[in-house]
Amino acid sequence: MDHYDSQQTNDYMQPEEDWDRDLLLDPAWEKQQRKTFTAWCNSHLRKAGTQIENIEEDFRDGLKLMLLLEVISEIVDGNVKMTLGMIWTIILRFAIQDISVEETSAKEGLLLWCQRKTAPYKNVNIQNFHISWKDGLGFCALIHRHRPELIDYGKLRKDDPLTNLNTAFDVAEKYLDIPKMLDAEDIVGTARPDEKAIMTYVSSFYHAFSGAQKAETAANRICKVLAVNQENEQLMEDYEKLASDLLEWIRRTIPWLENRAPENTMHAMQQKLEDFRDYRRLHKPPKVQEKCQLEINFNTLQTKLRLSNRPAFMPSEGRMVSDINNAWGCLEQAEKGYEEWLLNEIRRLERLDHLAEKFRQKASIHEAWTDGKEAMLRQKDYETATLSEIKALLKKHEAFESDLAAHQDRVEQIAAIAQELNELDYYDSPSVNARCQKICDQWDNLGALTQKRREALERTEKLLETIDQLYLEYAKRAAPFNNWMEGAMEDLQDTFIVHTIEEIQGLTTAHEQFKATLPDADKERLAILGIHNEVSKIVQTYHVNMAGTNPYTTITPQEINGKWDHVRQLVPRRDQALTEEHARQQHNERLRKQFGAQANVIGPWIQTKMEEIGRISIEMHGTLEDQLNHLRQYEKSIVNYKPKIDQLEGDHQLIQEALIFDNKHTNYTMEHIRVGWEQLLTTIARTINEVENQILTRDAKGISQEQMNEFRASFNHFDRDHSGTLGPEEFKACLISLGYDIGNDPQGEAEFARIMSIVDPNRLGVVTFQAFIDFMSRETADTDTADQVMASFKILAGDKNYITVDELRRELPPDQAEYCIARMAPYTGPDAVPGALDYMSFSTALYGESDL
């Protein structure tokens, strides 16, 4: 008792920390005096007819403490302070000191426990152990929280503290075996109730409900694990939906791009080209962003799963990132083929229109020439003709044959054009073929009729001797000249299509050469007209009886002069057409140069940015946050460069509208620029995501910046080719440089094979920096395990091998309780009861150790 006597000078209200220091925290005293103190207590409690066996357990309910108080009061001769101080020390040691909530002191832990338990109740605000309990609602809230069937909390009123206190005290004594240590009237009538008395009484509630506290802790752990699992499942559902939508869009788009049904008109094909441009400008860019975001979400989800010790996410069949990339590759391949097909089809239709117009012109000229020829060849005028007329008819026939031979080339040209139209699949080929066949049949018939008439004339020629040389010479010279004029008119009216200045210059040169032949042609015209004038002179001079016009030809001087005048009129028109086309080609050349100048700047700029991003991702300048900020600044500068891409798109549209198909001023096409731009946006987004995942890994695994820099320095040192990955031997050397003991013996090789299976699960033969960081931090990670979750469920189930629906709904929040109920399999063990659920298989399934 000397130790107690040394405390007589202290007031019993002395703070609990001093009592702990002087008495409770003296382990030597506790060990030596434990048996003595127990014997001493039993010697005095024997008067009250009771005994204690275990100090901690027997003093918890307060009853034996009250009996001991009466005995001690007699021992200390009525010294109240001494008595209360000793009793408070005992209470503090055996009823309060072992209370601990989140590593706080006993008093603070008990207060924190009260605050958490009463937080959901209105009109209850526990801030201390005196006035916060005066209205009695705090006691009622503690009871209702753990045993809601004992108190109807909704009927309690804050303005009736006496009823509230008596209700709580009576229920605690009757149903919870907590002695009635306090008096309701004293608490209500005191401005500041005794703190230690209330603390002592409240500690009885804590010990009474300590089992529920364990269940709550277990429930919290399960809630945490389930919350992580629910979040990951939501991310998986979001990925599946986004992947499905993107694949569905690709599935719908590829058939449209693979549709090669040709159109019959340039207007229809131009509309298809415009639809394709809208697709590239309006529809595809958002899908590029969705694809990039899908890859970012996938990488973030895999990182979260690794950090929470969950198995890697495997999307549904056909929805892997590789599947999406394959589908996207098919889309781009179809897209490239579609654009090439559109341009080729436009060229084909342009060529077809040109050929069709040329066919119609030549066919019309030929049909005009053949008009009446069959009737002429069928005439039998030679039967009644004079000798001179017969000779004239023969010479005329010879002139006709010469004309017929001259038209042979035109007929062959008509047939060749028709054949080319058929090969190019011209939509109106049937009518072209019919017209061509009609011309060919007529031409064959003309040949047959010509041969037949010649034979008749030759038979008659023996009877005729007179021949008019002048008419014959006129006919022979007039027919070729007439044919030349017709050919000249045909060429001057012929449409042309060129794509370069060189081509139009070639046509201009040919036209100038043609104009240089006009003086000689005029001389020939005058010579032919001179022959006709000579015939007229002879007729007038010798009064020759000429029955009609020149018997050898139908070409009159008036016709020759008319066609000659027409040729002279067509020459300046041709000059104007060539000049206009030359101006158009100069404009096209300016467009080529304008596009080439911009493309030659933008293309290298994109390549430079790609290289700079690659350097940033492997260099170690500053922290990961500094690298992330640097990359985001790069991303901002890249996005700000988009107007120049749009300007180049506008120039490219002008080039396509001008039907310009090549550009010698640049090796970059718009497709190169588009692909490079899309790759640049995707690369910067992926690089930012990789750094964000490194930050997430570093923070989750507790890796310091110095460690991260050391890992990066080692990784970069052995990454000889700066590819961002390490081969097996490079990775092994890197591990050895970081202190790993990996020998060349079989044990070392087996250990290295185990490590490679972790960092390279797909056996690609390379190790990425993210996999390297995951491995370096995985061994010391503090994560939840299936065994921990299983142990928590066992606490909620009261040490049973199964758990019931009611227990889940009582201990877990409603949404997570229903989540477990929906996924837990029925328990089939020998101790199963109706409705029992198997929480063990559920726990292992959460971590991928079995199927959920």
- pLDDT tens figures, 403-458: 888 888 888 888 888 888 787 777 778 888 888 888 898 888 889 989 888 887 77
User: In this predicted model, which residue has the larger pLDDT, 392 or 66?
Assistant: 392
> d(Cα 794, Cα 838) in Å, to the nearest integer?
11
User: In this predicted model, which residue has the larger pLDDT, 68 or 424?
Assistant: 424
**For 107-141, b where at least 16 C-beta lie within 10 A, e where not — what string?**
bebbbebbbebbeebeebebeebbebbbbbbbbbb
Beta-sheet pairing, 725-726 with 767-768? antiparallel
Summarize the confidence of residues 480-496 as an average pLDDT. Answer: 85
Cβ(199)–Cβ(107) under 8 Å?
yes
User: Looking at residue 5, what is its pLDDT?
Assistant: 36
Q: Tell me the torsion sign for CA atoms 574, 575, 577, 582.
A: positive
> d(Cα 222, Cα 788) in Å, to the nearest integer?
9
Structure tokens at 95: 């009823």
- In this model, does residue 20 exceed pLDDT 50? no
Contacting residues for 704 by C-beta, under 8 A, at least 6 apart: none
Domain boundaries 595-777, corresponding CATH code: 1.20.58.60
Contacting residues for 367 by C-beta, under 8 A, at least 6 apart: 439
Strand partners, 803: 837
Contacting residues for 47 by C-beta, under 8 A, at least 6 apart: 71
CATH architecture designation of domain 73-210:
Orthogonal Bundle (1.10)
User: Looking at residue 204, what is its pLDDT?
Assistant: 87
Calculate what percentage of the chain has a pLDDT beyond 70: 79
Confidence band (pLDDT; 50, 70, 90) for 196?
Answer: confident
- In this model, does residue 481 exceed pLDDT 70? yes
Burial zone of 229 (CB within 10 Å; 0-12 exposed, 13-18 middle, 19+ buried): buried
Confidence band (pLDDT; 50, 70, 90) for 114?
Answer: very high
Instruction: For the domain made up of 221-351, give the CATH fold.
Output: Methane Monooxygenase Hydroxylase; Chain G, domain 1 (1.20.58)
Cβ(173)–Cβ(180) under 8 Å?
yes
- In this model, does residue 581 exceed pLDDT 60? yes
Are both 221-351 and 378-555 of the same fold? yes
Q: In the chain, what are the domain boundaries?
A: 73-210, 221-351, 378-555, 595-777, 786-847
- In this model, does residue 281 exceed pLDDT 70? yes
Instruction: For the domain made up of 786-847, give the CATH fold.
Output: Recoverin; domain 1 (1.10.238)
Instruction: For the domain made up of 378-555, give the CATH fold.
Output: Methane Monooxygenase Hydroxylase; Chain G, domain 1 (1.20.58)
User: Looking at residue 373, what is its pLDDT?
Assistant: 83
Helix or strand (DSSP H, E) at 421:
helix 387-423
Instruction: Concatenate the DSSP letters of all residues of 183-251 into one string.
Output: -HHHHHH-SS--HHHHHHHHHHHHHHTHHHHHHHHHHHHHHHHHHHHHHHHHHHHHHHHHHHHHHHHHH
Query: pTM of the predicted model, to two decimals?
Result: 0.36
Chain centroid offset of residue 126 CA: 52
Classified as helix, coil or strand, 767 is strand
Classified as helix, coil or strand, 769 is helix
User: Looking at residue 10, what is its pLDDT?
Assistant: 38
